[in-house]
Amino acid sequence: MRSQVAELTTSKMPGETESQYTAFLLFCEVGSVSKLIQAWQQICRNPVGELSVIFGSKLGNLPSERTIERWSVKYQWVERADRKLAEDLEGLKKKTTQIRQKRAYLITEAFWSKLQSLRKQMQAGESTTVQEVRILWEMMRIEWGESISKQEVIQGINENEQIPLSPEEIELSKKISELEIEFNRKRYEKDNAA
């Protein structure tokens, strides 16, 4: 046995052949040794399809199941697959953040450009309204996912703050509802009497 254990990495491990590494990548795609063997057989039988294009030229002939299981243990496929998944998720998070930042930048640029054109329009003596600027501002805020009113946007309900009404609060709530009904009834009668 080796006295030193190779550092776990998602790239090609020391001593790992191209075929073994490609098998590891296919393992990451399908999730188990048995599914890996099925996919490998499919690639050998039908060299057309997404998996064949990606893995076909590098896999070679299908070794025995026992050999694949030895590779899996020797090169720690399960642990590496977990690490690869974590790396892929981190990469997706970074990409998503970049997309959001770029979108916010483009929205801000469009807002600024439109504001500048409204300023030029005003300098040329043409009329512009506060309503136009307000609509533009609201569109930008909505695109950013922010509130356009004076109220703060609340994400979700805090279950810890949800408590049942006390009997006194229930009674007051009923009275308020009755008063609202009475007020609306009187207003309706007044509007229809005229």
Give which of 19, 139, 124, 14 is closest to 67, Cα–Cα: 19
Instruction: Compare 89 and 127 and report the one with higher pLDDT.
Output: 89
Q: 191: Cβ–Cβ under 8 A, 6 or more apart, which residues?
A: none
The domain ranges of the chain are: 18-75, 92-144
pTM passes above 0.85 = no
Q: Which of 50-64, 69-83, 125-139 has the lowest mean pLDDT?
A: 50-64
Residue in the block written with tokens 């075929």: 19
Is the Cα torsion angle 181, 182, 184, 189 positive or negative in sign? positive
Mapping DSSP to helix (H, G, I), strand (E, B) and coil, where does residue 10 land? Answer: coil
For range 66-70, the mean pLDDT: 91
Q: Which of 55-69, 80-94, 144-158 has the lowest mean pLDDT?
A: 144-158
**Binning pLDDT at 50, 70 and 90, where does residue 168 land?**
very high
